[in-house]
């Protein structure tokens, strides 16, 4: 059945508007609880959140919904999305729940779920939940209501897990690192991880007030990180997004590196150490220069649909370990079950420490093809594919680019946007072609 509520990354929207309302979230938790009880007579669910002010409201709604279905709840407080995935597995819980809208502004929020193994759940599970939402609730009697408790050391446990993925014989001593927490879920965790591994840490974006998450900081606004690295004469800068599952890095020169380049460096580190990397999964958006560089080193490359869940599905199907997106969602499945900005940063920093080279030096042989990405906000009910000139414009652009570029148009899975991307060897050509296509959609 077609899913009504679930997008590519859970359920997301503007707070106070359907479906991100407390009454719906309570019903959602109740429905999820009933689905869980089909295979587990007394499920336990972990709930973590980012720093949005709406998290308090949604957390209590989830707690009530689960308890009403006879499901026990463990509250983790503010914790990165991958931290919830880790603790769900470590605590042998039935399900992990994250209250977050990731990189979106504070007035959005969302709910996403992890399996008992700390992995994204399949589409069929989401369809089962939506079917249960259509049924009348079945409240358990008082004797069978779920209970709630708080795990007070959730942050500390996750910090130790992150550190365990960094080689024991390496240290970050001697490095000054600017750490940008996006005023989000890692504000109290990310600086400690790097500090406890030996770095001198300069924190920015680590003072959340419930309203400032992702505002002019973090992985989606890396200009703040670039400025801070230069101002503090730091060796490196690390920027996370609101729920800390994506990453951007900056070197001492203020050069910004995206997920495509960082994915290549994760592969490079393993190849330098004599490990076999049979293949890597990127997405339709992955830069062609990285694809060519990987293939030149004998590493197979496959493109998945945009979205870390699709990268994960492709990795699992092929039994590969490394994949990611240019946005900074990176996967190292021998380190964690899901994308983790902190762990990905540590994997890249291992390369820097081992080689004694800067990020710029490590990537000197890769020149990314220019990409132009235009986001077009849709009007309510707008059918963007109905544009009479869209198909002919795309054909004309593809003919112009030939073998030196490509076009990708897709609808966002989390926002009412259409994303137009054109990649070409010439930056001006990419910009002009993307604008031509965008103009036909926004008429």
Q: How far is CA 178 from CA 77, 95, 190, 207, 228, in A?
A: 25, 34, 10, 14, 7
Question: How large is the C-alpha radius of gyration of the chain?
Answer: 22
Query: Is residue 295 within 8 Å of 273, Cβ to Cβ?
Result: no
Q: Within a 10 A sphere around the Cβ of 316, how many other Cβ atoms?
A: 12
Name, in order, each residue with C-beta under 8 angstroms of 278's C-beta and a sequence gap of 6 or more: 299, 300, 318, 320
Query: Is residue 322 within 8 Å of 348, Cβ to Cβ?
Result: no
- Where does 134-232 have alpha helices with state H? 154-164, 190-196, 223-231
DSSP 25-75: HHHHHHHHHHHHTTT-SS-EEEEEE-S-THHHHHHHHHHHHHHHTT-EEEE
- From the list 94, 102, 115, 327, the catalytic residue is 102
> What is the spatial distance between Cα 318 and Cα 120, in angstroms, rounded to a whole number?
17
DSSP 219-253: TT-THHHHHHHHHTT-SEEEEE-TTS--EEEEETT
102 is catalytic: yes
Residue 426 is classified by DSSP as S
Q: Are strands 417-424 and 405-411 parallel, antiparallel or unpaired?
A: antiparallel
Residues known to be catalytic: 102
């Amino acid at each position: 059945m077609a899913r009504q509520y679930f997008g590519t990354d859970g359920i997301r929207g503007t707070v106070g508007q359907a479906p991100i309302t407390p009454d719906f979230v309570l019903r959602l938790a109740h429905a999820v609880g009933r689905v869980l009880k089909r295979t587990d007579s007394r499920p336990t669910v972990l709930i973590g959140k980012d720093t949005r002010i709406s998290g308090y409201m949604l957390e209590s709604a989830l707690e009530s919904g689960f308890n009403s279905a006879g499901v026990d709840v463990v509250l983790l407080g503010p914790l990165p999305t991958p931290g919830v995935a880790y603790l769900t597995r470590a605590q042998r819980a039935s399900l992990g729940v994250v209250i977050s809208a990731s990189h979106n502004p504070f007035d959005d929020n969302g709910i996403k779920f992890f399996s008992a193994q700390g992995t994204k759940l399949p589409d069929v599970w989401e369809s089962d939940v939506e079917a249960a939402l259509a049924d009348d609730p079945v409240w358990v009697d008082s004797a069978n209501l779920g209970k709630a408790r708080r795990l007070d050391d959730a942050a500390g446990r996750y910090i130790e897990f992150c550190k365990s993925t960094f080689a024991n014989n390496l240290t970050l001593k001697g490095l000054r690192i600017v750490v940008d927490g996006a005023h989000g879920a890692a504000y109290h965790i990310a600086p400690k991880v790097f500090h406890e591994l030996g770095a001198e840490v300069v924190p920015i974006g680590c003072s959340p007030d419930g309203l400032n998450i992702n505002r002019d900081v973090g992985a989606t606004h890396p200009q703040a990180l670039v400025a801070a690295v230069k101002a503090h004469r730091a060796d490196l800068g690390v920027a996370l997004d609101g729920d800390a599952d994506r990453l951007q890095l900056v070197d001492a020169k203020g050069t910004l590196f995206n997920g495509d380049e960082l994915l290549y460096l994760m592969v490079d580190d393993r190849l330098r150490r004599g490990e076999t990397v049979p293949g890597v999964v990127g997405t339709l958006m992955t830069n062609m220069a990285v694809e060519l560089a990987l293939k030149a080193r004998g590493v197979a490359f496959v493109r998945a649909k945009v979205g870390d869940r699709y990268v994960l599905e492709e990795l699992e199907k092929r039994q590969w370990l490394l994949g990611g997106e240019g946005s900074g969602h990176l996967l190292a499945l021998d380190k964690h079950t899901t994308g983790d900005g902190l762990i990905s940063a540590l994997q890249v920093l291992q390369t820097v420490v081992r080689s004694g080279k800067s990020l710029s030096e490590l990537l000197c042989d890769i020149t990314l093809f220019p990409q132009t990405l235009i986001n077009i906000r849709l009007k309510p009910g707008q059918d963007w594919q109905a544009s009479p000139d869209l198909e002919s414009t795309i054909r004309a652009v593809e003919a112009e680019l030939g073998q030196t570029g490509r076009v990708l148009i897709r609808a966002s899975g989390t926002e009412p946007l259409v994303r137009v991307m054109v990649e070409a060897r010439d930056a001006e050509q990419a910009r002009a072609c993307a604008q031509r296509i965008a103009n036909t959609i926004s008429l």
